[in-house]
Amino acid sequence: MNQKKFFSSTLIFWNRNKNTRKMPWKGEKDPYKIWISEIILQQTRVQQGLAYYQKFIKAFPDVKSLATAEEQKVFKLWEGLGYYSRCRNLIASAKYIHEHLDGEFPVEFNDILSLKGIGNYTASAISSFAFNKPYAVLDGNVFRVLARFFGIEIPINTTVGKKHFNELAQFLLDKKNPGEYNQAIMDFGAVICKPGIPLCEECPLQSNCVAFLEQKITFLPVNEKVISRKERFFNYFIVEYKGHIYIKERTQKDIWQNLNEFLLVETDNLLCETDFLNDQNVSALFKKNKLKVKFVSKVFSQKLTHQTISGRFFHIELEKPLHALEKYKLVPKKSLDQLPFPKFITSYLTDKNVSLNLI
């Protein structure tokens, strides 16, 4: 039996007889639900994404309900998942399908691929799972399984590597059962050929696996790119005036677009927790307004893909409203929990040592 036939047939056999991995979207044929699950899981662990998927489908069970929903409600439901461009693209594509395709999810691969926020992997997943079309998926699990079994040392995050793995994945695909095969190889990477400590003793591919035979399991797959992170310092002022808090929606092309935030002073370094009012930007914000400093938080941090955000929260109470605050608005304190905020802010507001009563 050649390598291709051994590999593909063994995966299908394992999937039908040994695979016990259960998820609510497995076996799903509705392209909308497959789409939602794949977008949520793009940069989210399954354990976290599962609850979000269930809530999302309950709130927006079809394209029309998502396309016509109030956007802030969609972002609120997405809150905590991060990578909010995914949510913006979901909304944009749902509107497009609803308004230009009569609400019908496209069937052809290239039409699916043309939707905003959908790349080759997601288009392949939807095409194969919903319509049984012969397109191979290529995610982290698939990269790992292929690199180890075939002993491929080409870096997976290079143009050459992506092309090589894509061609190999398509070559190995079971054209008669593309949906089942794709699900099998992804599950196999998640359950058996895991990134940390793979279950090689339980692996039915072991006898032909190059990484196992040549003791290269921990070396493969190769990922040569090192991500450099920019460091940013966010100083948030939770400013209250007569039971209301100043907030605004982030609309600029930056992190956390379409989410809300408090008054922000971004600086080159963290503001000192004791003499922050002497900072030029802070003094310009409050001018001669009489204020009361009610609370200064510890330092909070969040690591994003390409940057690290660090900062403090300063609780301020004013006697008079602030003037000339572009795009900021006053909202009642009690309505804050209905608005979508980035994780950096919600992590602070939900901290056990923090209470909005401090404001």
Three-class secondary structure of residue 3 per DSSP: helix
**Pick from 215, 254, 216: nearest CA to 234:** 254
CB 40 within 8 A of CB 81: yes
Active site includes 38?
yes
Residue 236, judged by CB atoms within 10 A of its CB (0-12, 13-18, 19+), counts as: buried
Residue 327, judged by CB atoms within 10 A of its CB (0-12, 13-18, 19+), counts as: exposed
DSSP state of 192: T
- Give CA separation, 175 vs 121, 136, 172, 182, 356, in Å: 17, 9, 9, 10, 57
CB 333 within 8 A of CB 244: yes
Lookup: tokens for 252: 């600029």
Type of residue found at 85: S
> 38, 79, 180, 261: which is the annotated catalytic residue?
38
Please give the Cα distance from 136 to 327 (Å, whole number).
Answer: 46
Please give the Cα distance from 185 to 206 (Å, whole number).
Answer: 15
Which residue numbers are catalytic?
A: 38
